[in-house]
Amino acid sequence: MWIALGRTSAYDGRKKLFYISTPKIKGMCRIEEEFELSDKRRLFFPCFNCGESQFIEWKRIDFSGPRPVYLCIKCQYKHHEEDKTEILKSSQWLPTAEPKESGIRGFHLPALYAPLGMYSWETALKQFKKGKTNPQELKVFINNVLGETWADENIKSFDPEDLETLAEDYAFGEHDPLPKGIGLITAGVDTHPSHVDIVVRGWGRGHENWFLDYVVIDGDPNQDHVWEQVYEVLTQVYTHHTGIKLRVAAACVDTGGHNTEAVYNFCRDKFEEYILAIKGTSNQAAPIIGNFSLVKEGTVRLFPVGKPATHGRLFSGIRKSIARAQKMKEVLAEDDKVIDYSGPQVMHFHKGLPSTFYKQLTAPKSKWAKRDGKWQQVYETTDKVADHAHDSARYADAAFGFLNIDIDRLCKELDGVPIENVS
């Protein structure tokens, strides 16, 4: 690119340079750097009712009615998608900032302006909803639809002590009920030459989740007695707070490392129990869990699990949990009110979990690095810190994704709430 720019020097004073691109990662994006130097023009249009000049923003689109509408920033007039043609006809590019260098114009045009019959606001909403539970989908939405850079809040490391302070005192078992809110249980299994790690997670509305157990089974995974103990953990009976008996609905067992054949042998005849053999993929676009392929002459279903997606969702849950706890402290300090430690993606930890669990859960460090000439988010663990609990937790999340279940509806049904009476 620099050579191409150099060749324009002969036309100094008359040349015009165009930088056109979809934005990517905040702080690492060339088009963002150029736009910040410009006058940051937006496509303004006058409100059909009051004439107020404005540009289309995602936050101003209202999806509460039967059809999406854009609300005027002044009079709240409802502009329908069918009005796009007239909106575009009456629009004009207006600067919103002083350029840092004279003569630099920047134009920002999100997909929300797409002409009628092309990309719709309804489609944008569907894509946005997918991104609520998949960081990779959300990144695509932010970049391609809104035309904005992706500011990833997950790029950080966490102090394990911050999580350990969140531990709650709840007991459960076959006779002692699970904490209220849990409607589904999954597990993740990570194998190593000398032991097997298992994380059991409970799931509730909005992907709120509870870490129910962390089990380390010592022994060579090539020995049958080790897998007998694994199976015992995966078939443990739990009690819902209504008295209904629950078991692990699905489990993912990693085939990576030195124990591939042993995992294949264990999972081969257990698909009907949703005990799945998995293999991680570093593909940035890979979903939480993908479609299986047949291995071992068609006797084993092998499911790909997206490393970036599962790492990202686990980091997101940790961040939201710490933020929720901090909010509780702030509210309590201000007016002595107590707010619940709950909410979408919030994680719960019981006091029986060892300190090593928290250290391993937070072991990977997230950063951006260039891979094959492209910036990618990578998760790395130092040789001195194990990350077995972290990986097992990711696999339990993949098992939840495999079930593809409406967890909100399931929890309501288990609680005995009439579905037709619940919004």
Which residues, listed in sequence order, are joined to residue 41 by a DSSP beta bridge?
95, 107
Per-residue model confidence (pLDDT) at position 331: 59
pLDDT at 101: 86
- Name residues of the chain where pLDDT drops below 50: 1-5, 154, 420-423
Q: Distance between CA atoms of 404 and 354, rounded to whole angstroms?
A: 31
Q: What is the pLDDT of residue 423?
A: 32
Tokens in use for 349?
């930890």
Amino acid at the residue 44: F
Of 138, 122, 65, 53, the residue nearest 94 (C-alpha):
53
pLDDT value at residue 114? 96
Containing 374, the helix (H) or strand (E) segment is strand 374-380
All structural domains of the chain with their residue ranges: 25-145, 160-421
Angle between helical axes of 260-267 and 224-234 (0-180°, round to 10) = 50
Beta strands 245-246 and 238-239, pairing class: antiparallel
What is the torsion angle, in degrees rounded to the nearest 10, for the CA atoms of residue 283, residue 348, residue 133 and residue 385? -20
Number of Cβ atoms within 10 Å of the Cβ of 407: 18
Q: How far is CA 180 from the centre of its chain?
A: 24
Minimal CA–CA distance to 354: which of 319, 317, 313, 388?
Answer: 388
With CA atoms as reference, report the closest residue to 288 among 264, 276, 271, 305.
Answer: 305
Q: Output the CA–CA distances (angstroms, integers) from residue 333 to 319, 321, 329, 336, in the order listed.
A: 21, 19, 6, 6
Of 154, 223, 217, nearest to 362 by C-alpha is 154
CB 289 within 8 A of CB 402: yes
DSSP letters, 139-162, are HHIIIIIS---B--TT-S---HHH
Q: Which residue has the tokens 């570093």?
A: 282
Nearest-angstrom CA–CA distance, 288 and 173: 29
Global pTM? Answer: 0.65
